[in-house]
Amino acid sequence: MLKVVIIDDEPLAVEVLQNHLQKIPDVHVVGACKNAIEAFAFVTKNEVDLMLLDINMPEITGIEFLSSLKEPPMVIFTTAYSEYAFKSYELDAVDYLLKPISFERLNKAITKALSNKQLKTQQASETTNTLLFVRSEGKWIKIDVNGIWFVEGLKDYVRVWTDEGRITVHSTMKNFEEQLQPYKHFVRAHKSYIVNIKLISETDGNTIRIHDETISVGGTYKEELIRVINTYRL
Q: How confident is the model at residue 43, as a pLDDT?
A: 95
- Give residue limits of the domains in the chain: 2-126, 131-230
Q: How confident is the model at residue 122, as a pLDDT?
A: 67
> Strand (E) positions, 71-130?
74-79, 95-98
DSSP string covering 18-71: HHHHTTSTTEEEEEEESSHHHHHHHHHHS--SEEEEES--SSS-HHHHHHH-SS
Q: How confident is the model at residue 228, as a pLDDT?
A: 78
Q: Taking residues 116-130, what's their average pLDDT?
A: 69
Confidence of residue 226 (pLDDT cuts 50, 70, 90): confident
High-pLDDT (> 70) share of the chain, %:
95
pLDDT score of 234 more than 80: no
Q: Taking residues 186-196, what's their average pLDDT?
A: 93
- Is 131-230 in CATH node 2.60.40.10? no
pLDDT score of 141 more than 60: yes
Q: Which of 145, 162, 178, 174 is nearest to 210 (CA)?
A: 162
Instruction: Report the chain's mean pLDDT, rounded to a whole number.
Output: 89
High-pLDDT (> 90) share of the chain, %:
59
Q: Which overall architecture, per CATH, does domain 2-126 show?
A: 3-Layer(aba) Sandwich (3.40)
**Minimum mean pLDDT range among 16-30, 61-75, 112-126:** 112-126
pLDDT tens digits along 4-26: 999 999 999 999 999 999 999 99
Q: Which helix (H) or strand (E) holds 193?
A: strand 193-196
163 vs 116: CA distance, rounded Å: 36
Confidence of residue 164 (pLDDT cuts 50, 70, 90): confident
How far is C-alpha 58 from the geometric centre of its chain's CA atoms?
28
Q: How confident is the model at residue 134, as a pLDDT?
A: 87
pLDDT score of 76 more than 70: yes
Confidence of residue 64 (pLDDT cuts 50, 70, 90): very high
Torsion angle (degrees, nearest 10) of CA 75, 76, 77, 79: -150
Q: How confident is the model at residue 124, as a pLDDT?
A: 59
* Predicted model pTM: 0.56
Q: How confident is the model at residue 128, as a pLDDT?
A: 59
